């Protein structure tokens, strides 16, 4: 299988090793770590630390998409994310920026300010103009699966076969994006978005099935409910569980980890790569 790549900032990001997308949410109501109204100096310090710790992409989101969250108008979302993008472009101009939005208007403005990737939890299904914006601006698209909306997605999510159903839906979304002229993509099965905890574990177990699709596979599992509810803890206490789930995701073929903790994710990837090298080259080792 040829190496998967992504064109960002005019350069190819090669997935010769798993990559890291670090999250910076400009929100007051995310399930973990929102940074609304943070002073620019502190924001720049935190994002700089993410990059120093190994982040390849910084993902900027202006509204929470946690279960039960309300939708924010595009205008308010823009008021939150554009200053952050502007600061990143000032202090870290070569950094690939992902805009986490399902509003086409937000994606358009964010790209004009310097974002180089659109990360849409709906895979282009919430806003009919989204695929046109992505195609016209010639930026990569992160196409995620969701059942329902953030307001309703955890109201008894049901599948005939969770892996096959999501695979088929993502395949349809890919075809629609291709027809719109989008060929540079990331695929995200959407752990936690319209899935029970059991669904999420089934997706993780069968993540390699999604490698049949011709694009890098991203996993966004960091500190999510499948971890902290299973362990009976809070999201703030879920770093160790997140690391364990990240290693499983890597073993199942994840190309990209969307994370809140870049340093720990990088260390997990480093250990995975060392393990992979030793097992690929070492045979029985006896």
- Spot the catalytic one: 258, 263, 266, 276: 258
Please say if 195 is a catalytic residue. no
Give kind and range of the element (H or E) at residue 44.
helix 40-52
Q: Is 258 a catalytic residue?
A: yes
Q: Which residues does 203 contact at the CB level (< 8 Å), separation at least 6?
A: 162, 163, 166, 189, 191, 195
Q: Residue 199 in 3-state DSSP?
A: helix
CA 197 to chain centre: 19
Nearest in space to 104 (alpha carbons), one of 112, 95, 92: 112
Q: What residues form DSSP beta bridges with 20?
A: 257
Phi first, then psi: what are they for 144, rounded to 5°? Answer: -110, 155
- Six-digit token pair at 75? 């205008």
Closest CA to 103 of 133, 71, 130: 130
Measured between alpha carbons, how far is 146 from 259 in angstroms, rounded to an integer? 19
CA 58 to chain centre: 10
Number of residues that this document lists for the chain: 286
* Cα 160 versus chain centre, distance: 25
Q: Exactly one of 224, 263, 266, 276 is catalytic; name it.
A: 224
Going by C-alpha positions, the residue among 205, 186, 183 that lies closest to residue 195 is 205
The residues that are catalytic are 224, 258
């Amino acid at each position: 299988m040829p190496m998967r790549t992504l064109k960002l900032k005019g350069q190819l990001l090669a997935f010769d090793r798993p990559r890291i997308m670090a999250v910076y949410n400009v929100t007051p109501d995310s399930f973990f770590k929102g940074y609304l109204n943070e002073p620019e100096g502190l924001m720049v310090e935190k994002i700089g630390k993410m990059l120093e710790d190994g982040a390849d992409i910084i993902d900027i989101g202006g509204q929470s998409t946690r279960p039960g969250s309300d939708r924010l108008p595009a205008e308010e979302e823009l008021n939150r994310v554009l200053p952050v993008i502007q600061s990143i472009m000032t202090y870290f101009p070569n950094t690939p920026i992902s805009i986490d939005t399902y509003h086409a208007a937000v994606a358009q403005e964010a790209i004009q300010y310097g974002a180089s990737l659109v990360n849409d939890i709906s895979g282009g299904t919430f806003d009919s103009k989204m695929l046109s914006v992505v195609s016209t601006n010639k930026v990569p698209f992160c196409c995620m699966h969701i059942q329902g909306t953030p307001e309703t997605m955890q109201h008894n999510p049901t599948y005939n076969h969770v892996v096959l159903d999501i695979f088929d839906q993502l395949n349809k979304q890919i075809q629609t994006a291709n027809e719109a002229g989008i060929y540079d993509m990331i695929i995200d099965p959407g752990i936690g978005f319209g899935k029970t905890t059991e669904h999420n574990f089934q997706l993780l177990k069968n993540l390699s099935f999604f490698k049949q699709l011709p694009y890098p596979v991203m996993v966004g599992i960091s500190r999510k409910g499948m971890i902290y509810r299973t362990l009976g803890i809070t999201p703030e206490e879920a770093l160790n569980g997140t690391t364990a789930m990240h290693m499983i995701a890597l073993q199942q073929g994840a190309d990209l980890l969307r994370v809140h903790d870049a340093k720990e994710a990088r260390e997990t990837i480093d250990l995975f790569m060392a393990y992979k090298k030793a097992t690929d080259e070492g045979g029985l080792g006896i």
